Each structure stands twice: as C-alpha cells, then as structure tokens.
Amino acid sequence: MTVFTLPDLGEGLQEAEIVTWHVGEGDHVIADQPLVSVETDKAVVEVPAPYSGTIARLVARVGDVLAVGQPLVDIDTGKAEDSGAIVGRLDADEKPRPVQPVAPPAGGDVIRATPAARKLAREQDIDLSRIEGTGPGGVIQTTDVASATPRGVAGEGLRGPRRAMAQAMARSHETVVPATIMDKADVTAWDTDENPTLRLISAIVAACAVEPALNVWFDGKNRQLHDHVDLAVAVDSENGLFAPVLRHAENPEGIAERLSALKAAVKNRTLTPEALKGGTVTLSNFGMMGGEHAVLVVSPPQVAIIGAGRIGDAVVWHQGQPQKRRLLPLSLSFDHRVVTGGEAARFLAACRADLERPSIANTET
C-alpha cells in the first residue's frame, strides 16, 4: 500500500482544493491517468496517477483544502484481481448495493454536482437546477452554491478564486506600504472606436520605459528590475477576481488576440497556474463597470498597479478658454517602501502623455 500525497504543483503553491475525483475506490489505474482535479491559486489543475495500481481509499474529499504533502489517496500497487462487473471486493456475507439513479430535474437534465455542493444546497434550501456549474465539465461546486446563498444565510468558508483573493489581499496588507496618486488624461483626440484597454497597455509600456522603477519586483530586501513588461490584467468574473499575465506587452504583435484569449480563458476556467504568475506590473480597467478614481491594492512582489476609471465629458480650461473635453481618470498605487513619490509621478505623467496622443487614424488624416 502506498500513500500518494498532494504533489508540489510548482510556482510556490502551498495548497489546493479538491474539485473532482476522476476515479473511485476499487478502480484500477495506470500511471499518468487523470486522478483528480484540484484548484489552486485560481486555476484548475489535473493531477495524474503517479503509478499503476488499485485505488484503496480516497483520503481527501471534494471540497477539502490540502497542503502540499498531505495524504491524497491510498494506492495498492499490487496486482488487481478481476472481480467481474463489481468494482472492489465483497465480503462473504455482503451483497452488492444497487446503484442509485440520479434523479433528473424538471427539465429532464441530470444535475452534476459534487457531494459537498449537494450537502450545502440542502442545508441552504437552494435549487441546484438554477445554478451553473464552474467545475470541469460543468460540475457544480461548493463555490457555485455559496455564491447563490441568500443574503443573511451563513454559507461555507471562502473557496477557490475568492479564497486565493483573500489570501493575496491579506499578504499585501501585511507587507506593502501603499501610496496613491491620481490624474486625468485628455483623450478627446481618440477615435470613437478606440480600444481603451489597448491604449492603456501601450501607455503602461511607454511609462515603464520612462520610469522603470515601477516595473520591478521587491521581496522586502532586494529590488529586481525587468527589461520586459509582463502585464497582469485584472479581469472580473462571477467566480472572483483574476489577473492573467499578458507576456511581453511591449510587443504589439497580436496583442488584441492575446488579450482576448486570456479573457476567454478566465470565462471558461481554463487558465493554467503559469498564466497567473510572473506579472511585473498590473492594470485594472475598472472604469468599464463604473467609478472614477480608486485606491488600489498592490500585489507583491510587484510594486505598482495602475487603474483606469470611467471616461466622461467635462468642461475644462483648454487653450485659453473653457471647452468640453473627454477625460480618462487615472489612479496609480505603489509600494512606498521601494518607489519614491517622484518616480511614481514621472511614471503617471508618462502614462498620461501616451494616452493623450491622437489615434493612429487621426494622425494620418
């Protein structure tokens, strides 16, 4: 009998939540066969069987959160006996239990949900047929049920993406010394079909070139400057906040398609852990939903995050007279342990200057 523990999933990840078991007790598995899906740091990862054998016991249950190295499953590496159509073994006086059919909902479709999700739904009197599952294959998880829990009714603790967000925010609060400066960019010269997010990406790249002190990592002692911009882009979703990384944002080739692919991966829950790691600076374009300015949260080891508010019209003094202009609010939060106020101001000024450039179409006409 061999105890298989939760393996090191890389990237410094320390724990994972059991999402779906792909095997059951008594099943025979072969090496590298999908064993279990776990969720860690906002991504669902498939863990393969480390060797061939028979599943003797599932130590962890769906919904459990395990630390790396904790027991996951017991595998009998001896030769499995053929027990016919019955999976597992039966004692002499034990009769096989009939398989209980899954009752379909009124619409006729079978509801796929984890046991923990069904238990929570019963406790909170929630109709599973009204919930869209976010697990592999559309399986309803505890996080899906918890998000549907009526206000004022106690649910389970934070799971999955929301648990990862809570941990990241607590980590930032414990270490970062935050400061924020704000400004507004005059984007009147933009085309009406200008893509604000793409313009913001271009502006951040330009600002990193002017003031590289904000495109760094800081571990509390050492500062690491970067010669590239791996931009973490905050993406809102029903499952929580994600920040997939747009690699080499300084390379404009195919950048719109690459950004769309990241957003689609967030929506479809197909992000890998690697897609969420290694950002050197962060963009939060919260203005698409609302809000003008914000005091943002820096995610260490990064030292800066820039936010874009809602674009709106305002009457301002321009070229010696009041004029109606289009303004884009900007907020830059930074870690004041390692970034000076002057560096932050120069970065924001460079960002604003790039945003105020006319669109390419306007410069050609």
Same domain, 208 and 264: yes
Q: Which residues pair with 66 in a beta bridge?
A: 16
Same domain, 224 and 350: yes
Q: What is the pTM of this model?
A: 0.65
pLDDT given at position 89: 38
More confident position, 30 or 119: 30
Nearest alpha carbon to residue 111 among 99, 128, 92, 97: 128
Report whether pLDDT(324) > 70.
yes
Interatomic CA distance for residues 228 and 86, integer angstroms: 58
What is the span of the domain harbouring residue 333? 176-364
pLDDT given at position 314: 93
The total domain count for the chain is 3
Q: Which residues pair with 112 in a beta bridge?
A: none
| 94 assigned to some structural domain | no
For the chain, what is the mean pLDDT?
A: 83
- Among 58, 76, 94, residue at a domain's last position: 76
Same domain, 329 and 354: yes
Q: What is the mean pLDDT of residues 81-87?
A: 39
Same domain, 126 and 10: no
* Buried/exposed code over 149-180 (b: 16+ C-beta within 10 A; e: otherwise): beeeeebbeebbbbbbbeebeeebeeebebbb
Interatomic CA distance for residues 53 and 76, integer angstroms: 5
Least confident of 42-51, 222-231, 302-311: 42-51
Same domain, 143 and 244: no
pLDDT given at position 299: 94
The 3-state secondary structure of the chain reads CEEEECCCCCCCCCEEEEEEECCCCCCEECCCCEEEEEEECCEEEEEECCCCEEEEEECCCCCCEEECCCEEEEEECCCCCCCCCCCCCCCCCCCCCCCCCCCCCCCCCCCCECHHHHHHHHHHCCCHHHCCCCCHHHCECHHHHHHCCCCCCCCCCCCHHHHHHHHHHHHHHHHCCEEEEEEEEECCCCCCCCCHHHHHHHHHHHHHHHCHHHCEEECCCCEEECCCCCEEECEEECCEEECCEECCCCCCCCHHHHHHHHHHHHHHCCCCHHHHCCCCEEEECHHHCCCCCCCCCCCCCECEEEEECCCEEEEEEECCEEEEEEEEEEEEEEECCCCCHHHHHHHHHHHHHHHCCCCHHHHHC
* Buried/exposed code over 285-302 (b: 16+ C-beta within 10 A; e: otherwise): bbbeeeebbbebbbbbbb
Q: What is the mean pLDDT of residues 199-213?
A: 97
Same domain, 222 and 124: no
pLDDT given at position 11: 63
Report whether pLDDT(136) > 70.
no
Same domain, 151 and 186: no
CATH at residue 329: 3.30.559.10
Report whether pLDDT(67) > 70.
yes
Q: What is the mean pLDDT of residues 280-309?
A: 96
pLDDT given at position 280: 97
pLDDT given at position 101: 37
Per-residue pLDDT band for 252 (boundaries 50, 70, 90) equals very high
Nearest alpha carbon to residue 337 among 308, 307, 300: 300
pLDDT given at position 118: 76
pLDDT given at position 93: 43
More confident position, 29 or 81: 29
Q: Are the C-beta atoms of residues 362 and 189 closer than 8 Å to each other? A: yes
Q: Which residues pair with 331 in a beta bridge?
A: 182, 307
Interatomic CA distance for residues 243 and 282, integer angstroms: 8
Same domain, 187 and 157: no
Q: What pairing do the DSSP bridges indicate for beta strands 2-5 and 240-242?
A: unpaired
Report whether pLDDT(79) > 80.
no
88: left (phi over 0), alpha (psi -120 to 50) or beta: left
CATH at residue 71: 2.40.50.100
| 215 assigned to some structural domain | yes
pLDDT given at position 62: 87
Q: Are the C-beta atoms of residues 35 and 49 closer than 8 Å to each other? A: yes
Six token digits for residue 165: 């967000």
pLDDT given at position 308: 97
Q: Which residues pair with 16 in a beta bridge?
A: 66
Same domain, 330 and 199: yes
More confident position, 349 or 7: 349
- Among 76, 96, 124, residue at a domain's last position: 76
